[in-house]
Chain A
């Protein structure tokens, strides 16, 4: 049955220029998103990252409205939202409310902007679900720049950030600027979100920024190993998803998200079983 669904020209699609760009872009995103995702999960910022993704909606539609590059609009809105969540939600208890309110506001704003932009019916679909195959060469360069900046920043702050995430009060006593690092990380998360929106869209980026890291942490709690595993799972999801989208005529986002979620589901169930057995 599946054989009948396979596109005849799948090999041509797979070796085409747009697919090559999708592979390069997806690889950058998987590496950066996988590593950022590790900290998103241990800092319990999953919901915040979801909200920042939705700020992509007003970001992208707003950018089109005033005639600015999409990436700029995405970055400005995500970073502003990240700072708002970082400043308003210093305590975990406040963060839920701050995040949810910003999430609702951004969707409303995105809707208003979309109404104002005429003749761009595909814009909203692209922002919500992404379009890996429409990535331009220019976007690749921009995202390569984002990746370099984010990975360099992570290399510098990774250990103190882990310390501040795991034992904030002890880290502060050791002289780590815990609050400042928290805000800086939310900005870095916003940049990762900005990268992810054109690929998988605001609705699905959770599966690339959070799900691989969550799956990795279910498999191992060792910080180094979990970060590497998070990247590997993200890479497998992106590469597998692109391959399957060439094979079958369905959106790559769907396959990417499905692979990531299946890995997470299996890892989580096995981990829960192990935990129950150990207790």
Chain B
């Protein structure tokens, strides 16, 4: 029995009550009840529980969202390879099916847990709450949650993260932010990935930035290639700054780390 959410098992919410329809219940007059309950209240409550647990362990938590194929997993692989072991990561991988991504992430040495949503189109706070159970959160600095590849549904579900990070690759249209505004509005950070392919495409980077800022003027934008490493230093600097804000005592130890990240990007 799960004490946080009251479920009997991580994936199963069964109706354990009986349904005595028409079995001699009293026929009082129908009455009207006022309720005023938010439909996402349960998810939001569980997300708040997650957030409290993450805060207690001083974790930086990112929820990565994008369409399928934007390069989220490759981006994580590169980030993990470059920033471990200076920082301790844990990774939750959300996919409808297979554990392929978890295997790729696991190869970097990071603790990883695959969540298969089956028919589900997004991760919710309940899945994440149980998903992190195998991790030693106390010894983790940064939790990365790779959401199901979908630019629609994950926008509505708070997982307890600090930031939603949207990933958009230059092989997609530059007007993606206009087509899926809900997601780009919900995100704080946008990673424009695969910029090494720009010479071969008609993708207009300036236009894309403009569209993204039109939907969300506050959006922080990084242009990166996880293949060549171009632009990754700025992303790492932002990531490390966020993690250091959670654990100020890490500042000194990581000062040398930043310059190392920068040299990586120049390779």
Chains A and B belong together in one complex: no
Interface set of B (CB-CB < 8 Å, partner A): none
